[in-house]
A and B are shown apart, each in its own frame.
Chain A
C-alpha cells in the first residue's frame, strides 16, 4: 500500500517511447549492430611501406620459386589499418592476393616447403597474429546474450590462419625443422590469443593448436601446463577468458590419448582444474565441452569416478538453478558410462543430492532429476541397489508428490513411485507404512500441544487418523 513509482498519467515532456524509462533493455542491446575492432598493434608500425605487386607464383620458373615465395612472405608482414576501411586499398588488395597465393601454393604443390622458408613463414605468421587483444568494448560482455566484437583485420587475418593451418598440414611439413621456430614462447602467445572475442578466430586457433600438439611432441607437456595456468587464472583470478570452450575441446581429444595408468599430473589436472571449472559463473558457455572431458577421464580410468562425483557434489550449485540443471545433465552423462562397482561407492551421497533436486521448487530442476528414471541403464543400476536407494529418496518422492505446484512433476513422480513399487513392492510397502507413521505421529504431537493450550480437539481424532494411516496401502496412491 505504499507509494509506487509508476504513474497512470504524466504530462512531463519525455518522448513517449521513453515513458517506461529505466535501463536499456536486453533486447535492445542485443539488436545492436555487430561492431568490429582492430588490435592495438597497428599504431606501433610507424612507417607504412608501399607494396608493389610481385609476379604470380604459378608463373615463376622453378629456380626462382622459393625466392619469390620468400618475398611474398616478407610482403605479407606489412600490416594495414582496417578500422579505416578506405585507407590504402591498393596495398590491402596486394597483400590479400599474396596471402591467397601462399595458401594455395602450400596446400597444393609439393616441394615448396624447404628449410629456409620455415623462419620466414613463422615470422610472417607471428607478425600478423600475435598482438595484444584490445580491451573489450563492452565490459559486461555476456557471451550468451551479446554479439561478440569482431576483428576488423579479419580479411587478412583469416588468410594468415589458413596459411598457418595448411603449412602444418602439408605433407612436406617437417616437425624437426619447425620446432626451432615454433617454440615455447610461440605457443604461449598462441594460447593467449584464445581470449579473442571473435569466434572465427578461436575456431582457427583450436584447429591449429590441435595440429601443433599432434605434430610437435616436445611441446605437449608445455602446452598442457600453460592451459592449466590459463584455467587456474580463469577460475581463481579473472573469471574471464573467451576461449575456455575451445581449449576444453582440444583437451577432450588429448585426454583420449593419455596412457594408462594415468599419470599423477593428469589426475591432478582432473581434480584441481577440471572439477573446479564447474564453479565458474559462465559455466553454460563451456559446459558441454567440460562434461565431455570429465566423461573421457572416466572412460579412460574408472577409478576416478568417485573423485569426480564427490567433486561435483562439493561444488553443487546452491542458488543457481540453471547451473543445477547442467550439473544434473552431466551426472546423467556420467551415470551412462559408470561401472556398477563404482556406482555403489557413490550412490548414497549422489542420491541424497538427487532427492534434494527432486524437491526443488524450480520445476526444471525437479524434472531433470526425475528424467533419470527414463534412462534404462540408470534404471538398471537403481534396481540393483534398490535397497539402498529407495529409502534415500522415498520420503522426498512421497512428500513432493503431495506438495509440488507443477502437475508435470507430480505425474513424473507418480511414475517413479510406480516403477519403485514394481521393482520391490515389499520394500515399498514397508517404507510407505513407516513414512506415514512418523507423519501421523507429528500430527499427534502437534495436536497434543493444541490440547494443552485448551483448544479442545478430541484426542480420539488423532488416534483415528493414526489407525487410518496405518491401514492405508500404496494402492491409494494411484486412485
Chain B
C-alpha cells in the first residue's frame, strides 16, 4: 500500500482505490457512490501533484478518457472541475490538452447536462480574471453551441464577441484562431450578422499576430457564405490582408492561397486573386515570395479551365521567370520543387518553349537544393516531353550534386538514382552514371556507402541480373582486396544487398568464394561481417554449398579469438540448422 511506505499524502487515494477494487457495483446508488469516490481520487491526486507540468499534461490527457471509469456519460460531469482548473494553467501544452479533453467529453454530456454543467463552466472560463482561462474558453464555444437552447446560444455568441475584443492579445489570438470553427456551427443568419463584423475587426487588429489568424478564418467564412455576398463581406478584408504592412500577414495569405482560391470561387480568383498572387510572387520579403512560389503549381491547376492557359502565360509565367533568378535561395528552391508540375498543365509545346529554359537555368543554379528539387521532380516532365530534352544539362548537374561537399546532398541524389536510371535507360546510365554509383561505395561517410549499396540493389532490380554480372559485380568483388578494411566491408554489404536480386547462380559462383576467402581477414570487423553475410545469403544458396562450403567456415569462425566473431558465427549456425 502506497500510504504505508512513508508518503502520507497518497494514503487516502490508496484507501479509496482499495475500496473501489472490492466493490461490486450493481445499482444506481452504488454507481453514484462509485463515481463520487472516483471523483475524490482525481481531486486528491490533482491537489497533491499540482505543480509538475509533465504530470498535469498526462492528467489532462487521461481525464478525457475517464468517462467509463466515473460511471459512464451520466456522471461524466464530475470530470469537469479538475479539467476546468487544468484549463487555467499557464503552461500552454497543459491548457491545450485540458481543452482538448473538455471538447471530447462535451460530446458525452446529455443536452441537459451540457446546459447544467458544461455551459456554466465555459462561461466561468470566458469571464476569468487571468488570460489563461479566457484563452481556453475560446476553444469550447463551438462544441457546445449546436446542442444548447436558443437563449444559451445567444449568451455564447455574446461571450465570443466579448473575447474577440479582449484587451489581452493572447485572448484575441485564441478567439481569432477559433473564429472559423465557430462560424461553421453558427446559423447562417448569425454568420452574416455576427461573424463578419468580428472577422473584420480581428483582421484589422493592431497586432499582426492577430491579423494573420483572421486570414485562416477567412477560408472557413468564405465557404459558408453564398457567392453573391463574398464580394461585399469578405473581399475587402482579404484584399487588405494581401497588402498588409506586416510581412507575417502577407505570408499567411500566400500560405493559405490555394484554400482561399477554392473558397472564393473562379470569378473572384480571376479578378482579384490573380493580381494579388502576382504581388505576392514579387513581394519584397523573401519569406512571402517563397510561400507564394510554393503555391504556383496548385494555384495554376485550380484556375478555371476556360482561360487557364492564357492567365498563366500572361500573368503568372513572367513572375515565375523572375523568381528563377531570385536573390534568395529558399525562394528558388521553393519554386524548383513545384515548377516542373507546370509542364502537365501547359502541355508539350509551351513546356519546350517557355519552361524548359527555366528548368535548365535552375539545373545550373548555384544552390544544390534548387538543383536537387528539379531533379527529384523529373518524372512530371518526363511524361510531357521526355527526359531526353534535358539529359544534356542533366548530366553535369547530377555529377556536381554527386560530388557535393555536403553528404546530405549526396545522399539525396543517390536516392533519385534508380528513378533517373529508369528514365534515362541502361545505355545512358552505363556510359555516364555508373562510375558515380561505384564512387559512392567508397565515400568517407557511412550513410553514403550504405545508401550506395541499397542503390545498387534497386538498379539490379531494374536492369536485371545479367547487367549486374557484367557491370557491377566485378567491381564490387574487386574491392574485397582493398587495403582499407572499410572498403572490404562494403563488398560484404553489397553482397548482402545484391545476392537475392542476382540469383543463385551468380551468388554461388562469384560472390560466395569471395566471402569465404574474407573469413581469413585480419580485421575482426570484416570477419564477423563475413558471418553475418553468410547468414544473409544462406537462403539464396543451394543446400550443397551450404553444407560443404559455408558450414565449415562458420564453424571455424565460431572458434575465433574475437568474441564478436564467435557470437555472429554461432548465430548464423543456429539459424541455418
Contacts and interface: CB of A to CB of B under 8 A. Distances in A.
A407 interface: no
B428 interface: no
Given A14-B405, A15-B405, A134-B285, A3 B245 contact: no
Contact of B442 (A3, A12, A237, A314): A12
B54 to A, nearest CB: 10
A176 interface: no
A42 B285 CA distance: 11
B386 interface: no
A188 B206 contact: yes
Given A7-B444, A44-B245, A229 B169 contact: yes
A205 B300 CA distance: 46
Given A1-B524, A14-B403, A132-B246, A314 B285 contact: no
B92 A236 contact: yes
A199 to B, nearest CB: 22
A272 B248 CA distance: 29
B17 interface: no
Nearest to A235: B90
A235 to B, nearest CB: 8
Nearest to B487: A7
B55 interface: no
Given A3-B486, A15-B405, A272-B90, A135 B285 contact: yes
Contacts of B206: 185, 188
A138 interface: no
Interface in B438-465: 439, 442-447
A1 B525 contact: yes
A42 to B, nearest CB: 7
B284 A43 contact: yes
B409 to A, nearest CB: 11
A425 B371 CA distance: 76
Interface in A1-33: 1-15, 18-19, 21-22
Interface in A425-451: none
B405 A233 contact: no
Interface in B523-538: 524-525, 528
A43 B244 CA distance: 12
A12 B443 contact: yes
A87 B7 CA distance: 75
A91 interface: no
Contacts of A126: none
Nearest to A238: B209
Given A3-B525, A9-B484, A236 B90 contact: yes
Given A12-B442, A229-B170, A132 B484 contact: no
A70 B131 CA distance: 44
Nearest to A18: B405
Contacts of A22: 407
Contacts of B447: 5
A320 to B, nearest CB: 16
Contact of A3 (B284, B439, B489): B489
Nearest to B490: A3
A276 interface: yes
Contacts of A2: 525
Nearest to B168: A229
Contact of A41 (B173, B245, B286, B443): B245
B130 A272 contact: yes
A232 interface: yes
A40 B284 contact: yes
Given A10-B442, A237-B170, A276 B246 contact: no
B439 A12 contact: yes
A14 B486 CA distance: 18
Given A7-B486, A8-B484, A232-B131, A40 B444 contact: no
B208 to A, nearest CB: 7
Contact of B170 (A18, A41, A134, A232): A232
B405 A21 contact: yes
B91 A236 contact: yes
Nearest to B92: A236
Interface string A38-61: 001111100000000000000000
B139 to A, nearest CB: 15
Contacts of B245: 40-41, 44, 132
Given A21-B407, A43-B284, A229-B168, A134 B486 contact: no
8 contacts: A5-B444, A9-B484, A15-B405, A40-B284, A135-B287, A232-B131, A236-B91, A276-B90
Given A132-B246, A188-B206, 11 more contacts: A4-B446, A6-B444, A8-B484, A10-B444, A12-B443, A21-B444, A42-B284, A132-B247, A185-B206, A236-B92, A237-B92
